[in-house]
């Protein structure tokens, strides 16, 4: 196994013991599991980040809504400055600061209500009650991203479902279907704090479906099948970058500088190169990094030194850039925002499996 932090190997047994203790308390009934009125589909991973959960949540939300389901998303809102439970409302270029970058990306991409809070059960209760947090409407303004994302004033459809974002370890909320993403990098990683795994591979046995990437399928499928419990499904997802029209891959010129604050920046760089985007440098910040003007000046300095023609970044990063930051970058060249899209190889199999499970849930 690969250790990102070799110095932390002596701490791994302590981390493993803490996981085992929590499992023991949960099995003994000391740690209670709470159930929402509506069914819950969890999307998670055993790694701390970079498995591609957000694009999969977006894909599932769109698929289920197209089939007539009333969908909302429950998310932690990592790194947000807001408190308690909040509905993700439109607050201009400071939305990501308040709610977290990934919830804002999900809300904008899907149009479904997204609720954030450390306690996802409380977030689910708020979603089911249809009562919007006071913090979600500053100064009493109901300023929404679009009509579908508004939690109140909608006619509730008969079939409703919560999507639990990054929910594998959030086990005090009961779920009806567990989806676990697994990558080739995960299979070679080590347990925290030496590695990036939040749980060991035995956690994969809790999955009703394991999602693997199409480009990694041949490398991981044999090992992954061995980790899965009997009856679980393997779903294949293909990931593509969505370049904006009209110039698409050349939207930032022939020599752009890429920058991002994601868990696995090398993957973003590789996808750009494979798509024909001639990045001359990739500047990586820590995952969920909150950008400031000093960061923008650093990016500009690198771009000038390399005679770059513009910039390329991800949707997750773009929601954290203020208008002033974007204007500053564009003094050198265009800023191109690239979306990461996930598409299931067999969408019918995915939706049918989910609907069969959700239909069987007791009312």
| pLDDT of residue 25 exceeding 60 | yes
Are residues 138 and 259 both part of a single domain? no
Are residues 267 and 121 both part of a single domain? no
Give the mean model confidence (pLDDT) for residues 351-356.
96
Q: What pLDDT is recorded for position 28?
A: 87
Contact in structure between 256 and 302 (CB atoms under 8 Å): no
Is 174 part of a structural domain of the chain?
yes
Instruction: Write out pLDDT tens, residues 48-89.
Output: 988 999 999 999 999 999 999 999 999 999 989 988 999 998
Are residues 206 and 89 both part of a single domain? yes
Residue % of the chain over a pLDDT of 90: 84
Give the mean model confidence (pLDDT) for residues 27-47.
94
Are residues 137 and 274 both part of a single domain? no
Are residues 224 and 283 both part of a single domain? no
Is 36 part of a structural domain of the chain?
yes
Are residues 221 and 294 both part of a single domain? no
Is 339 part of a structural domain of the chain?
no
Distance between CA 16 and CA 8 in Å, rounded? Answer: 13
As for how many domains the chain has, the answer is 2
Q: What pLDDT is recorded for position 294?
A: 98
57: domain CATH number is: 3.40.50
Q: What pLDDT is recorded for position 145?
A: 41
Are residues 184 and 308 both part of a single domain? no
Is 242 part of a structural domain of the chain?
no
Range of the domain at 286: 252-333
**Looking up tokens 């773009």, which residue turns up?**
318
Are residues 301 and 278 both part of a single domain? yes
Q: What pLDDT is recorded for position 137?
A: 40
Instruction: Write out pLDDT tens, residues 123-144.
Output: 999 999 975 443 444 333 333 3
Mapped onto helix, strand or coil, the DSSP state of residue 193 is coil
Is 244 part of a structural domain of the chain?
no
Is 117 part of a structural domain of the chain?
yes
Instruction: Write out pLDDT tens, residues 214-261.
Output: 999 999 999 999 999 999 999 999 999 999 999 999 999 999 999 999
Is 40 part of a structural domain of the chain?
yes
Give the mean model confidence (pLDDT) for residues 193-215.
97
179 DSSP 8-state letter: E
Q: What pLDDT is recorded for position 82?
A: 84
Are residues 157 and 46 both part of a single domain? yes
Are residues 91 and 167 both part of a single domain? yes
Is 243 part of a structural domain of the chain?
no
Alpha carbon distances (Å) from 177 to 39, 119, 233: 8, 19, 11
**Helix axes 53-66 and 101-110, enclosed angle (nearest 10):** 30
Lowest average pLDDT, out of 112-116, 155-159, 178-182, 353-357, goes to 155-159
Alpha carbon distances (Å) from 49 to 183, 261, 286: 11, 12, 11
Q: What pLDDT is recorded for position 363?
A: 64
Q: What pLDDT is recorded for position 157?
A: 54
Instruction: Write out pLDDT tens, residues 6-20.
Output: 999 999 999 999 999
Are residues 13 and 134 both part of a single domain? yes
Give the mean model confidence (pLDDT) for residues 149-174.
79
Are residues 134 and 199 both part of a single domain? yes
* pLDDT averaged over every residue in the chain: 91
């Amino acid at each position: 196994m690969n250790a990102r932090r070799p110095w932390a190997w002596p701490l791994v047994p302590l981390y493993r013991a803490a996981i085992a203790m929590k499992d023991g308390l949960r099995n003994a009934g000391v740690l209670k599991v709470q159930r929402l009125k509506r069914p819950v589909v969890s999307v998670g991973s055993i790694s701390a980040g970079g498995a591609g959960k957000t694009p999969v949540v977006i894909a599932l939300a769109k698929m289920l809504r197209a089939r007539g389901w009333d969908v909302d998303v429950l998310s932690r809102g990592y790194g947000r400055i807001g408190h308690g439970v909040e509905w993700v409302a439109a607050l201009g270029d400071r939305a990501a600061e308040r709610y977290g970058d990934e919830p804002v990306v999900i809300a904008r991409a899907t149009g479904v209500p997204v609720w954030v809070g450390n306690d996802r059960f409380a977030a689910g209760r708020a979603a089911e009650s249809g009562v919007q947090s006071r913090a979600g409407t500053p100064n009493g303004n109901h300023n929404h991203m679009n009509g579908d994302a508004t939690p109140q004033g909608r006619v509730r459809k008969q079939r409703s479902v919560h999507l639990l974002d990054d929910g594998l370890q959030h086990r005090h909320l009961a779920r009806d279907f567990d989806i676990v993403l697994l990558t080739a990098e995960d299979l070679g990683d080590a347990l925290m704090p030496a590695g990036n795994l939040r749980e060991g591979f035995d956690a994969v046995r809790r999955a009703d479906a394991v999602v693997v990437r199409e480009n990694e399928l041949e490398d991981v499928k044999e090992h992954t099948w061995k980790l899965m419990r009997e009856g679980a499904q393997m779903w294949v997802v293909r990931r593509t970058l969505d370049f904006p029209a009209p110039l698409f891959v050349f939207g930032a010129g022939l020599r752009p500088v890429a920058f991002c604050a994601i868990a696995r920046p090398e993957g973003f760089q590789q996808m750009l190169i494979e798509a024909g985007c001639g990045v001359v440098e990739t500047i990586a910040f820590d995952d969920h990094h909150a950008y400031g003007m000093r960061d923008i000046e650093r990016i500009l300095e690198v771009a000038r030194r390399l005679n770059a023609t513009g910039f390329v970044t991800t949707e997750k990063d773009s929601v954290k850039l203020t208008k002033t930051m974007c204007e500053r970058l564009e003094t050198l060249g265009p800023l191109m925002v690239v979306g990461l899209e996930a598409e299931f190889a067999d969408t019918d199999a995915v939706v049918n499996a989910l609907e069969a499970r959700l239909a069987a849930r007791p009312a």
